[in-house]
Amino acid sequence: MAGLVLVNPWIEGVSNNKPPLGLGYLAAYLREGLGYTDVRVVNTGRHVRERIAELHPEIVGFTAYSANFPEVLALSHWVKEELAVPVLLGGPHITAMPESLPRWVDAGVIGEGEETLLELMRIFLHRRRLLPPTLAEVNGLVFWDGDRLVRTAPRPPIVPLDRIPPPDLQVLEIERYLVPSQILMTNEYVRGTTIITSRGCPFRCVYCHVSAKWGRVRYHSAERVAEEIAVLVRRYRVEGIYVADDLFSANVHRVRAITRGLEERGVLGKVRFFLDLRANLVNEALILALKEMGVVRISLGLESGSERILRYLKGGDVSVEDGRRAVKLANRLGIGCHCCFMLGSPGETVEDIRQTQQLIREILEMSPSNFCQVNVTTPLPGTPLWEYARERGLIPKEIDWRQFSLDPSLSTAPDFYVNEVIPFEEFRRLVEETYHLANSRRLEAILRKMSWRYLARAIQRPRLALRIVGDWLRFRGLRQVAAPRS
């Protein structure tokens, strides 16, 4: 028997080996703010109904991004019909599209969820129900009152961010995720997980809904970050961490303060990191500071080799040359780069795509530790790109949200093709050509780096061995599957 069950249903057939940190933060906030500990997290794509039912919840909360929205609709309907308990819905999708709240869901939580959920749970524990008159007093909600969709006043962000305790690792059952994986986006399989050190981003890229979701950017203190990492290393023997910030701080003083905090806690050098930066923010002092902290790889959204398309996507503050310079600098100082590209942006021509292919070639030539990932420009709800596509009638009336998933064969489906210059079939060929170009060099890099320790580990673990074969096929370009991209 559980009180609140928080559910992250996976898209069918797509695995997700990272903990749903958002749900861990919600659980921690309820524990600290309300003394409420009766929370369970269900994070799976298989037998989700059975898993929820066996917990006998008193209230259920779903998290939905766009790609798993259909699963969330079906499951939440089932919970309401079969279990007859209140149902809440939060996450990026409902935040961007509050009007998509289904009638059977009691309330949708817009944006940051901690304080809003705490207030909802206080009401629920007191009255055992969530009815429109009481919901109207809670900020940050969308709910149905009869035939009227009501939105309450926006919820102000929690400041300072350290007021939110670290995610509840026990509720998340963190041990489940600590299997060797390529969390550092290198060829190594290490025991790893994700953390978050900030919320928001000061930039406004047209395809990203992060700034709309979080408002102004907020950072956890260096002390808090170091302590969270130390717990993961000491208690859970974590070796690799993906810092899932939208954009990791480019403030060199903050990076150094985190490094000092790790040193004071005796964990500096015991854990390595992979994180996202923006090319125009990369400089030598920052890379050296990141290296000292233990960063082995950075991710850069270079997006396009065409200056014109890059300007459209990211605004005028970052150039193609900034990207080249950032990768060269990082490589010279011993850091590999995971570079992300987008194909199919509005106005993009075949010539623009050729320029992107040329940049990919250059980056792969710079170092075998560089890795290029190719994605198809997809308009996400809540972004300027979505508005662009909607205004031009490029978004179908009946949206198949599953197309927002990880599988590029789905995401290159014509439904969300926002480029009106290149005919779709030709575009699809160009995408395949570019995937192949980006992946072909990876096999060489893997073979060059393949160590005996790595092979021995693989032999002991059949699933790991299978994954390596899968990678091999993928890098040969035989199986066109892109790596996850957030």
Question: Peptide bond before 160: cis, by omega within 30 degrees of 0?
Answer: yes
Q: Where does this chain touch ligand B12 (CB under 6 A) — which range of 13-21, 291-299, 329-337, 444-452?
A: 13-21
Q: What is the rounded CA–CA span in Å between residue 139 and residue 151? A: 9
Longest dimension (CA), the chain: 65
Q: Which residues of this protein are in contact with ligand SF4, per CB under 6 A?
A: 201, 203-205, 208, 210-211, 246-247, 278, 301
> What is the β-pairing status of strands 87-90 and 141-145?
unpaired
The tokens of 158 are what? 């929690």
Q: For residue 220, state whether it binds ligand B12 (rule: CB under 6 A).
A: no
CB closer to ligand B12, 22 vs 355: 22
The single-letter DSSP state of residue 66 is S
Q: Which does 219 bind (CB under 5 to 8 A by kind): ligand B12, ligand SF4, none?
A: none
Candidates 255, 256, 259; CA nearest to 198 is 255
Closest separation in Å from C-beta 276 to ligand SF4 = 7
Nearest CB to ligand SF4, comparing residues 2 and 374: 374
Closest CA to 222 of 160, 172, 282: 160
Q: Of residues 80, 93, 220, 442, which one binds ligand B12 by CB under 6 A?
A: 93
Min. distance of Cβ 344 from ligand B12 in angstroms? Answer: 13
- Site for ligand B12, residues 360 to 419, rule: CB under 6 A: 380-381, 404-406
Cβ within 8 Å of residue 396, ≥6 positions away? 415
Grouping H, G, I as helix, E, B as strand and the rest as coil, residue 20 is: coil
Q: Does 67 sit near ligand B12 (CB under 6 A)? A: yes
Among 112, 228, 322, 348, binds ligand B12 (CB under 6 A): 112
The site string for ligand B12 over 165-204 (x = CB under 6 A, - otherwise) reads -----------------------------x-x--------
Of 114, 119, 188, 352, the one binding ligand B12 (CB under 6 A) is: 114
Task: Supply 332's token pair.
Answer: 């010279």
* Partner that binds at residue 205, options ligand B12, ligand SF4, none, CB closer than 5 to 8 Å by kind: ligand SF4
| CA dist 441 → 56, 80, 83, 184 (Å) | 51, 50, 52, 19
Residue 302 CA from chain centroid, whole number: 17
Residue 203 CB, shortest distance to ligand SF4, in Å, is: 4
Nearest distance in Å: CB 373, ligand SF4? 14
Min separation Cβ 250 and ligand SF4, Å: 11
Tokens read off for 3: 């009180």
Among residues 2, 3, 5, 20, which is the contact residue for ligand B12, using CB under 6 A?
A: 20
Q: Is 143 helix (H, G, I), strand (E, B) or coil?
A: strand
Distance CA 360, CA 313 (A): 18
- Residue 211 interaction partner, one of ligand B12, ligand SF4, none, beta carbon < 5-8 Å per kind: ligand SF4
Q: Which of 30, 88, 247, 282 binds ligand B12 (CB under 6 A)?
A: 88
R_g (Cα) of the chain, nearest Å: 22
Judged by CB, which is closer to ligand B12: 299, or 367?
299
> Pick from ligand SF4, ligand B12, none: which does 247 bind, CB < 5 to 8 A by kind?
ligand SF4
Q: Which partner from the list ligand SF4, ligand B12, none does 301 bind, CB cut-off 5 to 8 Å by kind? A: ligand SF4
Q: Count Cβ atoms below 10 Å from residue 263 Cβ, excluding itself.
A: 14
What mask of x and - would describe binding to ligand B12 in positions 317 to 356, judged by CB under 6 A? ----------------------------------------
> What span, in angstroms and rounded, lies between the C-alpha atoms of 377 and 341?
9
φ, ψ for residue 108, nearest 5 deg: -105, 135
User: Residue 70: is it exposed, middle or buried by C-beta count within 10 angstroms (0-12/13-18/19+)?
Assistant: middle
- Interaction partner, residue 112 (ligand SF4, ligand B12, none; CB < 5-8 Å by kind): ligand B12
- Continuous H helices in 155-199: 169-172
Q: Measuring CA to CA, how many Å separate 259 from each of 8, 156, 192, 227, 263?
A: 33, 31, 19, 11, 6
Count Cβ atoms below 10 Å from residue 464 Cβ, excluding itself.
17
Residue corresponding to tokens 């927002």: 404
Question: Is 246 one of the binding residues for ligand B12 (CB under 6 A)?
Answer: yes
CB of 334 to ligand B12, least distance (A): 25
Q: What residue ranges bind ligand B12 (CB under 6 A)?
A: 6, 10-11, 14, 16, 18, 20-22, 25-26, 61, 63, 65-67, 88, 90-93, 96, 109, 112-114, 117, 194, 196, 208-210, 244, 246, 380-381, 404-406, 484-486
